[in-house]
Structure 1
Amino acid sequence: MTRPLRIGLYAGGGLIVVVLLAAFVAMYVLLQPERFTSLLQSRARAVGLELTLANPASPTLWPKPALELEGVSVRASGAGTPLLAASRGKLVLPWHTLMGGEARISRLEVEGARIDLDALAAYLDTLPSRPSTAGAILPAVDAGFRIERGTLLRGNELLLSDVDIDAGRLANGLPFAVALAARTADGTSYALELETTPVLARGVLTLEDAELRLSSEPRFTASLRGDATWRGGADVGASLSGRVTRQAGAPYGMLLKITPANQRDPLYVALKLDGENDRTDIRVPPIGFTEWWSGIQSGGPPTLPPLLGTIEAKTLDIGSVHMKGLRIRATPSVPAEAASTASAP
């Protein structure tokens, strides 16, 4: 190799190193990691939360300007157990931040998150209660967020694994979409998707043109469309209709309605299913159902759930029990009565 060629290669290599160093320095100068981590921490403090990182944030430009986070922990102020702990995170930033623009986060991504339901419930209990007469609210979320490979725990009890949540920006009058997938403790996978346009006007929140999909492949898929409203407190209303397809049988027509609480009756969820051999027309009070389920979980005596209406099924399989001609009828004066024949295989 001639001496001029060696000099040229050294000069070229040195220039590349200088450019890379300049780009590295520019990332820190322009992105200013401490500016955005301070922004995120100040937003957390504003709602009574403490956010800590195991290591300082590191910037990256590919494929978008972002700050890589390690060892993310979020806990209520003064609490010991974090309500969220994640191995990695990322703050995706708008391109204009490279030009010294406003410090704004366009997306938050969290990987390997552990969410403690007890710690979350304890934090929610510390928030000031709203008057029962207060109207609806819509918390504005400027940045979309994503949680990957998460787990939902209650203390040491695993509730959900492989949790994946992907949500867009939440703002008044703008289309909003959220998708959630998870696996229960017994290994069953579920997925939920919601697309709607939230509109808040004069204390009334309306979810317009809502499309709701719930599935557990390949067992069933439910697709519903309609509208929902919230006026604050327990004043919730909804009307959604659609179809349920099943692997093990004919499809169902489905109607889901929510009637708000009043001076006589609690909040009710009404469900109608109309199939080839099965029909269901029931009303369930969510609060009463939650109390019933908690009693069952705590080892209380087995009782029928608090529901009103009728359930008719030509055949029903629950584990090793096979039922034929099942009919359940519940009225306000008669909690539940059932007539059925059953045989074990």
Structure 2
Amino acid sequence: MPRWLRLTLIILSSATLLLVAVALIAVHVLLQPERITAMLQKQARNAGLELSLSSPATPALFPRPALELEGITLSAQNANMPILLAARGTLVLPWRTLVHGDTVISQMRIDSPRVDLDALQSWLDELPSGPATFPSTIPSIDAGVHISRGSLVRGNQMLVGDVELDAGRLAANHPFPLTITARDAQGIPTQLRVSVTPNIKGGVLALDNIGLYLARGTTLTLHLAGTARWHGAADASAQLTGKLDHANAGQYTVGIDLTPADQSNPLMLALRLDGPDNHADLQIPPLALASWWSQLDHDEGPRLAVPPGNGHAEIASLEAGDVNIEGLTIQAGTSVPAASASVAAPAQPASAKPASAKSAPARRTP
């Protein structure tokens, strides 16, 4: 190789290394990782949370400006158990951050987060109660969120694993997409896709163009569409209709209506299901429904009871965890037939016809 060419290559290589070093120093100065980390910690404290990192955030330049976060811990203030633990995270920033210095996050990526449901519930219980107050408009959040290899646990019990989550930009009158895939404790894959257009007008949160798709394994899919409104607290309403397809039972028409609470009645959920072998027309308080459902898979064994509310249901087969219920008929509230007598007896609050319940072995998908 000619001497002049060798000297040229040495000079170019040295200049390149110098430019890279200057660029890295400039990126560190312009991105100011300490300032952005402090901003995130301040936002967490405003929500009653503490955010900590195992090491200071480090800047990156390629393929886009970003801050790398290692060993993320998010806990409620003065709590012993963290709500979230994550191996690492990345805050992707737009190129204009290097020029203008404004703190704008275009995407947030979190790898291997572990969320503890008990710790999350404890934090939620400590939040101040009272009527919800809405801002004048939907806060704009340009940052998309991507979560990979996540898990949801309760103590040492795995509830959901292999969680992948993608969420898009949040803005008023702009479709907000959300996709979640995961596997439950039995290894059955589940996918949820939601699209909704949010807006706030006159102190009312409006959710329009709701589209929901839920798939569990290869046997069940659910499509729903509709709208919802929330004035705060239990003053909420929603109307959703769609189809439920079950590979072993056929197709069902589904209708869901949420009626706001008033001085005499609680928040009420009306559920309509019509199809082969299964029919239901029920009005149930949602909080009571959640409590009833949890009893079917109770740690000490299933506790069968008629859910509170009003209506009737004829269910050929129902599976909840390790419990399989067959031939279940429910008649509750005013749907209970009056006793046969010369004077009609007052309706009982709830009754159920005999149903067979048996423990079934847990089904696992390889």
Deviates further, 21-30 or 92-101: 21-30
Query: Following TM superposition, by how much is the alpha carbon of 1:115 offset from its aligned partner in structure 2, in angstroms?
Result: 0.8
Letter in 2 for 1:335: A
Matches of 1:122 and 1:343, distance apart in 2: 34
Counterpart of 1:272?
272
The answer to whether the aligner puts 1:338 opposite 2:353 as a matched pair is yes
Counterpart of 2:159?
159
Tell me the TM-score normalized by structure 2.
Answer: 0.84
Letter in 2 for 1:261: A
Tell me the TM-score normalized by structure 1.
Answer: 0.88
Matches of 2:77 and 2:280, distance apart in 1: 47
Query: Following TM superposition, by how much is the alpha carbon of 1:38 offset from its aligned partner in structure 2, in angstroms?
Result: 1.7
Letter in 1 for 2:151: T
Counterpart of 1:209?
209
Counterpart of 2:13?
13
Matches of 2:120 and 2:73, distance apart in 1: 13
Query: Following TM superposition, by how much is the alpha carbon of 1:295 offset from its aligned partner in structure 2, in angstroms?
Result: 5.0
Counterpart of 2:139?
140
Alignment of 1:56-135 (within 5 A): 56-131=56-131, 134=132
SS of residue in 1 equivalent to 2:112: strand
Query: Following TM superposition, by how much is the alpha carbon of 1:140 offset from its aligned partner in structure 2, in angstroms?
Result: 3.1
Letter in 2 for 1:247: A
Counterpart of 1:299?
300
Letter in 2 for 1:336: S
Q: Structure 1 pair 236/92, CA: closer, same or farther in 2 (3 Å)?
A: same
CA contact (8 A) 2:72 2:89 kept: yes
- Which residues of structure 2 form unaligned runs of 5+? 335-347, 361-366
- Which residues of structure 1 form unaligned runs of 5+? none
Letter in 2 for 1:304: A
Deviates further, 115-124 or 330-339: 330-339
Deviates further, 294-303 or 191-200: 294-303
CA contact (8 A) 2:138 2:200 kept: no
Q: Note the alpha carbon deviations across 1:66-87, whole angstroms, 9 max, x for none.
A: 1111101111222222111100
Q: Structure 1 pair 102/283, CA: closer, same or farther in 2 (3 Å)?
A: same
Letter in 2 for 1:299: E
Q: Percent identity?
A: 40
Q: Structure 1 pair 100/119, CA: closer, same or farther in 2 (3 Å)?
A: same
SS of residue in 2 equivalent to 1:251: strand
Q: Structure 1 pair 7/125, CA: closer, same or farther in 2 (3 Å)?
A: same
Letter in 2 for 1:198: P
Query: Following TM superposition, by how much is the alpha carbon of 1:244 offset from its aligned partner in structure 2, in angstroms?
Result: 1.3
Matches of 1:295 and 1:249, distance apart in 2: 25
SS of residue in 1 equivalent to 2:350: coil
CA contact (8 A) 1:209 1:227 kept: yes
Query: Following TM superposition, by how much is the alpha carbon of 1:7 offset from its aligned partner in structure 2, in angstroms?
Result: 1.6
Query: Following TM superposition, by how much is the alpha carbon of 1:320 offset from its aligned partner in structure 2, in angstroms?
Result: 9.3
CA contact (8 A) 2:160 2:182 kept: yes
Alignment of 1:292-331 (within 5 A): 292-295=292-295, 297=298, 299=300, 302-307=303-308, 308-313=310-315, 315-316=316-317, 318=319, 323=326, 327-331=329-333
Matches of 2:160 and 2:210, distance apart in 1: 26
Deviates further, 184-193 or 224-233: 184-193
The answer to whether the aligner puts 1:45 opposite 2:45 as a matched pair is yes
Q: Note the alpha carbon deviations across 1:134-193, whole angstroms, 9 max, x for none.
A: 555687362332222111122222221112222223333332122222222122222222
Q: Structure 1 pair 275/340, CA: closer, same or farther in 2 (3 Å)?
A: same
Matches of 1:107 and 1:154, distance apart in 2: 28
The answer to whether the aligner puts 1:25 opposite 2:25 as a matched pair is yes
Counterpart of 1:198?
198
